[in-house]
Amino acid sequence: MKRVLFALLLCFATVLSISAQQTKVGTISGRIVDVSGAAIGSANVFVHNRTWPDDMKLAIRTDKNGGFHLGLPEGIYDILVVSPGFFAQAETVPVWSGKVKVIAWRMKILPCDFPSMNCDTFFDEPNLRTKPHS
């Protein structure tokens, strides 16, 4: 009986140890539209977490419906959304384990004479590249 109890306690301790080592993950989900409500597909969404030791940076593009969805480690993130012809928008967003943070932005159209923006200045990293969202 003692062996069975010891084996069960050992298994329980192993499960607790494994679950404690897993990263806590939350979600940022959103939709980017223009002022009329039309989807902005292929908008660039830059995500930066300054609280992690590795200074985590990500870049994705919205799908054809202007949507994006990211599972991220728990933390505070700076989010920048840019798309040609629109004013860029930025927000600081907390991500909590097991929670979904929904972002819905209406982007304003740039006037024709407005200079283009260089997104690399947001991260101070010229080698950051985006990949098309699949």
Establish if 97 belongs to a structural domain. yes
Cα(48)–Cα(58) distance, integer angstroms = 6
pLDDT of residue 127: 43
**Domain of residue 102, CATH code:** 2.60.40.1120
Q: Specify whether the CB–CB gap between 32 and 82 falls below 8 A.
A: no
pLDDT band at 126 (very low <50, low <70, confident <90, very high): very low
The pTM of the full predicted model, rounded to 2 decimals, is 0.68
**pLDDT single digits (tens) 19-34:** 444 679 999 999 999 9
Total number of domains constituting the chain: 1
Q: Domain containing 104: what range?
A: 23-123
Dihedral, CA of residue 4, residue 7, residue 8 and residue 13, to nearest 10: 160
Q: What is the mean pLDDT of residues 40-44?
A: 96
Establish if 12 belongs to a structural domain. no
